[in-house]
Amino acid sequence: MSSPLLSIDVNRTIRDASKVMAEQGVRHLTVTENGKIVGVLSVRDLVKMVSVRDRPRFLGQT
């Protein structure tokens, strides 16, 4: 991970996280809640979330 740690609040959206990662050129963000680190979010996590969200749309296409 890079230093200093880049973080995003747990209440922010996937889109917000993706934007921060792209703008900062990083693949991981720490996730914070009330100023404490509660997890780590990766680009791979974002891809999984988007693929689950969009799966019904892809399955309906012929």
Integer angstrom CA distances of residue 14 from 36, 48, 61, 62 = 19, 11, 24, 28
Which residues span the domain enclosing 44?
A: 7-59
Phi, psi of 30 (to 5 degrees): -80, 145
pLDDT digits (tens, 9 = 90+) for 43-57: 999 988 877 766 666
Residue 37 lies in a domain: yes
Percent of the chain scoring above 70 in pLDDT: 81
What pTM value is reported for the model?
0.75
- Write down the pLDDT at residue 52: 74
- Write down the pLDDT at residue 1: 57
Whether the predicted pLDDT of 38 surpasses 90:
yes
Neighbours of 21 (CB within 10 A): 19
CB 49 within 8 A of CB 41: no
Give the pLDDT band (50/70/90) at residue 58: low
Residue 50 lies in a domain: yes
Residue 25 lies in a domain: yes
CATH number at residue 53: 3.10.580.10
